[in-house]
Structure 1
């Protein structure tokens, strides 16, 4: 009888872990760099500090690149 309770508790715990692991945060910013430095979700645009923005990406040399002037919040990856 005790074994059945333990097995049930383990099954419930595993089911809870599967449910939790499938939850993902919604994407809030996307920068495709396809001729534009703007955010696809109307957020702050990137700022060019030298370099060349083309139709399929951004090229830059040493001491050049992109910056983001605004904060994206406390959670980001």
Structure 2
């Protein structure tokens, strides 16, 4: 999975009672393994390393390949 700055993401929880989290990728720190800085919907920022297919791209950054008719909204 590749993420770009500006991508809106949703992290799906593996626990039943834990809600999903949404945020916007502020910076891509590393691609392999993926490390990104995310501004979460509650306003705080953290470094996030997705694992196990728990991240969905809700909306790609304007001007990205997927935004121009690429692979769709999920990666």
Shared fold (TM-score, shorter chain, > 0.5): no
With the shorter chain as reference, the TM-score category is under 0.3
Larger Rg: 1
**TM-score normalized by the length of structure 1:** 0.23
| Structure with higher helix content | 1
Name the structure, 1 or 2, with higher relative contact order (CA <8 Å, separation 6+): 2
